[in-house]
Amino acid sequence: MDQQLLGALEAGGTKMVCATGYADGSIAACTEIPTTTPEETTAAIVAWFEDKGIAALGVGAFGPTAVDPASKHFGKILETPKTSWRYFDLLGNLAAPLNVPFGYDTDVNAACLGEATFGCARGLSSVVYLTIGTGVGAGVMVNGQLLHGMLHPEGGHVLVSRDPRDTIGEHSGCPYHDNCLEGLIAGPGVKKRWGGKRASELADDPEAMDLLAGYLAQALTTYTLCYSPKKIIIGGGVADHTPIVPLARKKAAELLNGYLVTPELEDIDTYIVNNSLDGEQGIKGCLALAHRALSA
């Protein structure tokens, strides 16, 4: 069964990454489709997959999205700023024409599964995966299960204390919260604070990096205390192209202040880490979702 060709779709707000591959995480073919209207985009995805002969499809979707099969909105995109996608049945519009077993989860839960199956968290049962880019998203695995709950974790929007040095103004980059992690460290907040600059352009600015890393460290401390993960893995453009992960790791250790004593935290350099799969953690996680669907 492990030789069967699997389909993987990393469904993002700006692009759809489609791939075929195998249960060992190897990718056979891959393409990117721009995210435009829901109808045009899903038609292009179906057209790419339909002659590939995939045995199952794993979908990691941008959120918020309903991941509970018991929900009447299962497989739909929910309240997104991308208004044309609101309540669009993403999964239904792929599953019906492709007619294969499918797995469906958030993009960040898929990436978490990718790292736990093929990457630096292999063999670990409790893992947090964070992506920091145009937004901040958190995928969580607890005791081997991807965490859903009433919806799914939205760890990017945990509240943090404002640094008095911060010049962002009253409102952050998040339309919902003035003091959430995403609003203060993701792309829109960075651009608002630093005259349109991207985080990667500020990578050599120690004050900017110190500010961003301080906010990240507060959130990492919260995740450590609430989810008790055995590893925290961080991906996304802001994390990949700046030194905030090593800076935040040091600050998180200071914030924890010796309260938790575990072998993992004794070696914090291997506890809070950058992603290990060169940006392919999401699409490889979708392959793992497809494989799980086949075995279910």
> Taking a C-beta distance cutoff of 8 angstroms, is the pair 49, 96 a contact?
no
Strands 57-61 and 27-34: unpaired
- Residue 174 or residue 219: which is nearer to Zn ion going by CB? 174
Do 15 and 62 contact (CB within 8 A), yes or no? no
* 130, two tokens: 């964070």
Site for Zn ion in 16-35 (CB under 5 A): none
Give whichever of 148 and 177 is closer to Zn ion, judged by the CB atom. 177
Closest to Zn ion by CB, 180 vs 283, is 180
Residues in the interface with Zn ion (CB under 5 A) total 7
> Toward Zn ion, which CB reaches closer, 94 or 174?
174
Residue corresponding to tokens 């964070």: 130
Q: Which is nearer to Zn ion, 174 or 272 (CB)?
A: 174
Kindly report the number of other CB atoms within 10 A of residue 94's CB atom: 22
Of 19 and 160, nearer to Zn ion (C-beta) is: 160
107-118 vs 281-295: helix crossing angle, rounded to 10 = 80
Report in angstroms the alpha-carbon separations of 101 from 24, 208, 295: 18, 46, 10
Least distance (Å) between residue 155 CB and Zn ion: 11
Consecutive H or E run containing 31: strand 27-34
**β-strand 57-61 against 6-11: which pairing, if any?**
parallel
Q: Is the separation of the CB atoms in 159 and 179 below 8 Å?
A: yes
Are 81 and 173 within 8 A, CB to CB? Answer: no
Judged by CB under 5 A, which stretch of 22-30, 167-175, 190-198, 219-227 contacts Zn ion?
Answer: 167-175
Please choose, out of 130-138, 149-157, 247-255, 265-273, the segment that lies near Zn ion by the rule CB under 5 A.
Answer: 149-157
Give the x-and-dash track for 237-276 against Zn ion (CB under 5 A): ----------------------------------------
C-beta closer to Zn ion: residue 182 or 240:
182
**Are 147 and 112 within 8 A, CB to CB?**
no
| Distance in Å, CB of 181 to Zn ion, minimum | 8
In angstroms, the CA 161 to CA 70 distance is 37
Closer CB to Zn ion, residue 83 or residue 176? 176
Among 152, 157, 193, 251, binds Zn ion (CB under 5 A): 157
132 sits near Zn ion (criterion: CB under 5 A): no
**Site residues (CB under 5 A) for Zn ion, limited to 173-202:** 174, 176-177, 180, 182-183
Which window, 166-174, 233-241, 263-271, 272-280, contacts Zn ion (CB under 5 A)? 166-174
CB 207 to Zn ion: min, Å: 24
Torsion angle (degrees, nearest 10) of CA 178, 235, 282, 256: -80
d(CA 159, CA 178): 9
SS3 160: coil
- Residue ranges in contact with Zn ion by CB under 5 A: 157, 174, 176-177, 180, 182-183
